Structure 1
């Protein structure tokens, strides 16, 4: 079993992914920056605000994340919280930080190759945003990144990035692999059961 959860900040991905992992006895993996020696070094560099250099490091780490998924699948099931589709959604909305055209060309080429190396999930769940529910969920939340805060303050941008993530999911994986569920459309348990029911249904097709 390999189930991926994608969506924008505040849609409940992590809560649902962790509960799914508990229910299925699966390995939980969060792909923002990998939990590896390389990922830890990126976190150190990130604190130095070297944005232009980080774009290449991030893409390299995304390749590493796909390798890690492949390795973990040899040992059992995976519930994955985010993938490189979130990065593609962000890039299509905001563009690259590094404006050097040679670097941009390398990054674009790298992401195209990354698509071909992607490990295809049994089910990719997109938690579709609902503005009212998102605002309620994030009200008073103190650990939002600067980018996430910018998105909450500009919901048109938030909605655009959400749409770009879904487009990426459809592009990278087969459309029938993608399940769209509105965020907070039920309790955590209800949403987990809906996802597992769809997973089993699609396995039978």
Structure 2
């Protein structure tokens, strides 16, 4: 019998940014399937993760989970995507090579999303990252991160949600909670210039998936 460890959920604020950034660099960096496959380092990730955390926390939709000692043990980093927004093309030359490999497959995965969701939907909630510290997995925290604070999100005019599910655990989680796979790229079909797979994931993940769920409002 395992007691649920005491954890506390809250909407993330700018003052949480340093702790969330450190959590990503010390925990998420080493547990995420694509990072593990290409050996992304703390140095590779440091600046990009900081910008990413600042942007997603600024949307007012991100969630931080802390334990009784106030350490970060889980996060949902999220935001919005609008059909009519113009996205600047990604300049891959400015990105560290190992992170560039990940950005390329994920850009290819999600670029056509607006052609794949129903045409009456013009605003989506985007779950950009969902991560729970290893010691705290299996306690239902990830499930709660999917839904925490969604009343605030729904007030912002979204009709559905999507995510890039890039690890086998998150793929199972999204599937279990009603998300459909609308696009998928198999790792054994995504090859380098020598014809070898770019990603062979330590956790056994075989694909990257774009998943979508319509909200019944």
Give the TM interval when normalised to the shorter protein. Answer: 0.3 to 0.5
The structure with the greater share of residues assigned to strand is 2
TM-score under structure 1 normalisation?
0.33
The structure with the greater share of residues assigned to helix is 1
TM-score under structure 2 normalisation?
0.32
| Larger RCO, structure (CA 8 Å, separation 6 or more) | 1
